[in-house]
Structure 1
Amino acid sequence: MKPPSNRICLIEDDELMGESLSDRFGLEGFEHDWYRTGAEALAALRSLSYALVVSDIRLPDITGDVLFEQLLTEGQRLPPFIFITGHGEIDSAVNLLKKGARDYITKPFDLDALIDKMGDIISPVMETGMSGLGQSPAMRQIQTMLKRLASSTASVLITGESGVGKERVARALHDLTGQNKPFIAVNCGSLTESLLEAELFGYEKGAFTGAARTKKGVFEQADGGTLFLDEIGDTPPAMQVRLLRALQERSIVRVGGETLIPVNIRLVCATHQILQERVVSGVFREDLYYRINVVELRIPPLRERPEDILPLAHTLLAEIAATSDKSPPGFTAAAKHAIKAYPWPGNIRELKNSLERASLMCDGPLISHDILFERPAPVLFSQQDLAGSLRDYLGECERDFIVRALVACQWQIQLCADSLGISRKNLWEKMRRFGIDKENTIHLV
């Protein structure tokens, strides 16, 4: 599997157009490679990884649709494609959309509109740092705190229910440091006491039966970077003592060793436990609690931030697609409503598992409710969900249907109105009410 990339592949034979696009991409901060022929682009796409392809349909050696179909035939995992087309080639562009291309733009086009489309498409592909944490007020506050903490070495404790994305937040903090340093994670609750000690501090050759060589622990592996200790609340009491000493002295001793080894780490811990209660009950050391809890970040469960659920679902689908040969699918209107209505007791972990299964079962471009949940829709509704939900659901269905009709009619308003059995004025009113316009909605189909 090719490693993920943030680069854009530009395929354009016209020198003036290519220079214009290349210059603008550079000004917008998009790293890119520019290919003048389909053959050059084919060779690059077979060996390199790109976040997005912007391609003219008319090329000097082969057409853009032939290039796209060739890659499909070879079973290549394709990045999203935006095609540049003339008015006489719209049919080809629409056919490419049906085959999996993401979008097209018609000459002459507004460069700003193209840049906006590119940003909408590659934002989940370029998932690094804080872009995948969410946009709810609670998560925006978390992001603000992460920016403040990026220049500090203070220990951070991340709390929240299982599956809320505590490691995602820890990685976001690590990425904000801007350093090419290691991020090492270990789950303290998944190992026995002896295994955890060896995992944390390493061991010398011959320290115990089976220790055939010297091994560095995660403290040493993370030196200069971030050490993430997940489920710190499950650490055995004896290990809490050794952990506290290592944090106080900023040095460790390997199992079976005697030499103090200095370590320089940023410590981030996480737990689903309420550590204050474990301190009161004597299960967790109070001095260790204050050592790891200089700053606490509580990650709310998905049911407390429903506005984050659908964007997270799209981000997770992009991550899942990056490990397979499929382009990320979308959702039917019913699936969108169900995703937002369901409380997700397992939080992001449950959401990701459901999406992985749905991606495997989905044969088309859209994931349906039945594929996603494998159970009848009524269980997704509570009494508080029912107020106004039918109107909202029908509105989403109507909007999706109108957009698809507009694309099928190549955005010819009168033709589309006739096919829908409504007047041109009525269609314009619905487009205005639903916020439908050609530049911003065609990629949603």
Structure 2
Amino acid sequence: MLPALLCVIEDDPIMGESLADRFRLEGFEVDWHTDGESAWSALQTRPYQAVISDIRLPDISGDDLFARAVSTRTSNPPFVFITAYASVDTAVSLLKRGAADYITKPFDIGALVDKIRLLTGAGIPDQAMPAQSDLGVSEPMRRLAELVPRVAGRAKSILVTGESGVGKEVLARFIHRHAPGDSLPFVAVNCGAVPETLLESEFFGHERGAFTGADRQKKGYFEQASGGTLFLDEIGDLPLLMQVKLLRALQERRITRVGGEHDVEANFRLICATNRDLAEQVRLGKFREDLYYRINILRLHVPALRDRPDDVLWLAHRLVRHIASRLGEPVKLFHPSAEARLATYGWPGNVRELQNRLERACIVCARNMLLSSDIFEEEGTESPAITETDTPLDNYMAACEDAFLRAALMQHQGRISETAQAIGISRKSLWEKMRRHAIAAESPIDAAK
């Protein structure tokens, strides 16, 4: 992986050299500019992943440079501004226009390095990160990630359950990656999307001339997955007749193509997924009991996203990085109010809804920073507004805290103890914050009605 490329704009020779040297020691590639115009020229040709700029420069100001970049370029790297001359108007203006941060000198250069690592996605040391796994940071997903390597190479059949959109196929692919063998096939099939008239041909394959239009031999899903993994999504939608044939294929590990005369070996690992209660389907006679016990040797459950809120922001940051990579654009940042809303929203559509909302926001939003209203367009513009006083950062963070508390209280129907526990503070601290922000104890409940 290539080192992240930074643009440092600082006319003070001591400060500029210190920043450049420190970031190079941290593994970054650095271009150091002492004026705005040379930095602007470099921005046109160099693929910077972040810009660190002083406000006061000998030619144009950092503010003017940023305004020029926002008005003339479709995408820009994150800008972090540093200055010894804090200004209320400048701070508010820059943050509202999408600057990543605004900090005053003297500052902790180590904290700045950590911030730039987050903005660029550059190798944050594992010890600096919270406990996490490839599946998530919440305890249920970490337990799943720990269990999979122990069972992936031993279980011939696994049933994955969970609501629609929770990431059942993601778990299936994770299991496949931990199974022994390299470059083995992974065949994913949505059972509800295959027309009933084509089920047998699609699953078993067919010989040339087996029916009208069969102008060549075709391998079915069972054969395509031989040696690897067959993932049957929404297996509860499979008709009873096909369930019988699937059971036989699982028992014998051999199949016969439509129109064929000889058996063909089909040895695959089966992962089935469903958002239905298969035990209830068995009771209603809509799912075969023998097949249910055959595929339910090992059951893994993926919780709904609302039941693992710790994963929301972790997923959101990963998703925007993937979206940015696909679009060939710098990674967009989240405004604190957007993070607060993401963390407190109920996510009825689970991870699929999160992905769809973020993809739309990244495509439509021209700014570097996503506001809550970019992701939840139906909720209107940002509220509350940032006021201009003598302490811009304090008021900026206070506005974000206000939005976070109101959203958390609404999510928990105004229950103080439950809200305090959910956001990790004491009841007394929550009451004090509510009094400071003039949040009435009953107002969240009224707003939720």
- Distance, in Å, in 1 between the alignment partners of 2:256 and 2:39 is 61
Equivalent position to 1:81, from 32, 37, 49: 49
The 5 Å alignment of 1:120-159 reads 121-122=121-122, 131-159=133-161
Whether 1:320 aligns to 2:323 is: yes
Deviations 1:94-119 (A, max 9, x none): 97998743589x9xx98xx6899389
The equivalent of 1:418 in structure 2 is none
- The code of the aligned residue for 2:163 comes to E
Q: Mark the CA change 1:215 to 1:356 in structure 2 (over 3 Å): closer, same or farther.
A: same
The 5 Å alignment of 1:264-303 reads 264-303=267-306
- Distance, in Å, in 2 between the alignment partners of 1:199 and 1:22 is 56
- The code of the aligned residue for 2:308 comes to R
Q: Mark the CA change 1:246 to 1:9 in structure 2 (over 3 Å): closer, same or farther.
A: same
- Distance, in Å, in 2 between the alignment partners of 1:119 and 1:182 is 36
Whether 1:70 aligns to 2:73 is: no
- Distance, in Å, in 2 between the alignment partners of 1:195 and 1:321 is 39
Aligned residues of 1:160 and 1:301 also touching (Cα < 8 A)? yes
Deviations 1:411-445 (A, max 9, x none): xxxxxxxxxxxxxxxxxxxxxxxxxxxxxxxxxxx
- Distance, in Å, in 2 between the alignment partners of 1:115 and 1:339 is 21
Aligned residues of 1:57 and 1:85 also touching (Cα < 8 A)? no
Aligned residues of 2:4 and 2:29 also touching (Cα < 8 A)? yes
Aligned residues of 1:57 and 1:84 also touching (Cα < 8 A)? no
Q: Mark the CA change 1:244 to 1:355 in structure 2 (over 3 Å): closer, same or farther.
A: same
* Identity among equivalent pairs (%): 41
Aligned residues of 2:234 and 2:273 also touching (Cα < 8 A)? yes
Aligned residues of 1:344 and 1:351 also touching (Cα < 8 A)? yes
Aligned residues of 1:56 and 1:64 also touching (Cα < 8 A)? no
- Distance, in Å, in 1 between the alignment partners of 2:177 and 2:25 is 28
- Distance, in Å, in 1 between the alignment partners of 2:204 and 2:183 is 23
- The code of the aligned residue for 1:270 comes to A
The equivalent of 1:225 in structure 2 is 228
Q: Secondary structure at the match of 2:412?
A: helix
The equivalent of 1:236 in structure 2 is 239
Whether 1:359 aligns to 2:362 is: yes
Q: Secondary structure at the match of 2:303?
A: coil
Task: Note the residue ranges of structure 1 that are not aligned, 5 or more in a row.
Answer: 1-6, 13-20, 26-53, 72-77, 125-129, 396-445
- The code of the aligned residue for 1:56 comes to V
The equivalent of 2:127 in structure 1 is none
- Distance, in Å, in 2 between the alignment partners of 1:239 and 1:348 is 30
Q: CA deviation at 1:131?
A: 4.7
- Distance, in Å, in 2 between the alignment partners of 1:340 and 1:119 is 20
Q: How large is the Cα RMSD of the aligned pairs?
A: 4.3
Select the structure of larger CA radius of gyration: 2
The equivalent of 2:30 in structure 1 is 56
- Distance, in Å, in 2 between the alignment partners of 1:10 and 1:81 is 6
The equivalent of 2:441 in structure 1 is none
The equivalent of 2:440 in structure 1 is none
Q: Mark the CA change 1:255 to 1:368 in structure 2 (over 3 Å): closer, same or farther.
A: same
Whether 1:8 aligns to 2:7 is: no
- Distance, in Å, in 2 between the alignment partners of 1:119 and 1:225 is 38
Q: Secondary structure at the match of 1:152?
A: coil
Q: CA deviation at 1:151?
A: 2.8
Aligned residues of 2:167 and 2:351 also touching (Cα < 8 A)? yes
Deviations 1:241-272 (A, max 9, x none): 11111111112211221221112211111000
The 5 Å alignment of 1:23-38 reads none
Q: CA deviation at 1:385?
A: 5.4
The equivalent of 1:29 in structure 2 is none
Equivalenced residue count is 338
Q: Secondary structure at the match of 1:382?
A: helix
- The code of the aligned residue for 1:289 comes to Y
Q: Mark the CA change 1:353 to 1:218 in structure 2 (over 3 Å): closer, same or farther.
A: same
- The TM-score with structure 1 as length reference comes to 0.64
Q: Mark the CA change 1:220 to 1:95 in structure 2 (over 3 Å): closer, same or farther.
A: farther
Aligned residues of 2:344 and 2:407 also touching (Cα < 8 A)? no
Q: CA deviation at 1:67?
A: 5.4
Q: CA deviation at 1:182?
A: 1.7
Q: Secondary structure at the match of 2:358?
A: helix
Q: Secondary structure at the match of 2:323?
A: helix
Q: CA deviation at 1:66?
A: 5.1
Deviations 1:188-246 (A, max 9, x none): 01122222222222111122222121111122222222111000111001101111111
Q: Mark the CA change 1:174 to 1:85 in structure 2 (over 3 Å): closer, same or farther.
A: farther
- Distance, in Å, in 1 between the alignment partners of 2:231 and 2:24 is 40
- Distance, in Å, in 1 between the alignment partners of 2:411 and 2:374 is 24
- Distance, in Å, in 1 between the alignment partners of 2:251 and 2:194 is 23
Q: Secondary structure at the match of 1:189?
A: helix
- Distance, in Å, in 2 between the alignment partners of 1:246 and 1:371 is 49
Q: Secondary structure at the match of 1:229?
A: strand
Q: Secondary structure at the match of 2:121?
A: helix
Q: Mark the CA change 1:376 to 1:84 in structure 2 (over 3 Å): closer, same or farther.
A: closer
Equivalent position to 2:167, from 165, 168, 174: 165
- Distance, in Å, in 1 between the alignment partners of 2:295 and 2:188 is 15
Q: Secondary structure at the match of 2:313?
A: helix
The equivalent of 2:410 in structure 1 is 382
Q: Mark the CA change 1:166 to 1:23 in structure 2 (over 3 Å): closer, same or farther.
A: same
- Distance, in Å, in 2 between the alignment partners of 1:58 and 1:374 is 39
Aligned residues of 1:166 and 1:299 also touching (Cα < 8 A)? yes
